[in-house]
Amino acid sequence: MSNSQDGADVVGRFFDAFNAGDIDAAFATLSPDIMWTYHGPEGKIPFAGTFRGHAGVRDFFDRVSKSIEIREMTPRSFVSFGDQVYGRGIEHSVSLATGREYRLEWVHVYHVQDGLMTRFEEFIDTAVVVDSLNA
């Protein structure tokens, strides 16, 4: 198995664990000094920004759980190039504040080194998220 395939496998294990609700197994795929970035307007999306380390990623997911209910987070494909993995997928979530639902496609960029994710970036249509979160 090539290093790039190993990277896609690490990302796949993260999603398998996350979607099964096994947060400890999901975090076992993350480097202790991971840089986790959700691009978007920080004043309008409470979980937008860059979060560092396991504590930062836990803060990110805490913010997410206080803002939205994720009903689906499904990867459709992963493509690896060296230590980078590119993913495409779909998300279906509901705003806890407004009850508005949104569905969107996402693109993620992951960096995987020595069997652990060291960086994560999410690219989405943030206007859809902002619209659902704000009355």
Domain boundary assignment for the chain: 3-133
pLDDT band at residue 95 under the 50/70/90 scheme: very high
- Contact partners, residue 112, CB within 8 Å, separation at least 6: 6, 7, 10, 11, 83, 84, 85, 118
**pLDDT tens track for 54-65:** 999 999 999 999
Cβ-defined contacts of 29-34 (< 8 Å, 24+): 29/116, 29/117, 30/54, 30/57, 30/116, 30/117, 31/113, 31/116, 31/117, 31/118, 33/118, 34/116, 34/117, 34/118, 34/119, 34/120
C-alpha to C-alpha distance for 32 and 115, rounded to whole angstroms: 12
Eight-state DSSP code of residue 124:
-
For domain 3-133, the CATH class is alpha beta
pLDDT band at residue 5 under the 50/70/90 scheme: low
pLDDT band at residue 2 under the 50/70/90 scheme: very low
pLDDT band at residue 114 under the 50/70/90 scheme: very high
Residue 3 has pLDDT above 60, yes or no: no
Residue 40 has pLDDT above 50, yes or no: yes
Mean pLDDT of 104-115: 97
Quick one: three-class SS letters along 73-99? Answer: EEEEEEEEECCEEEEEEEEEEEECCCC
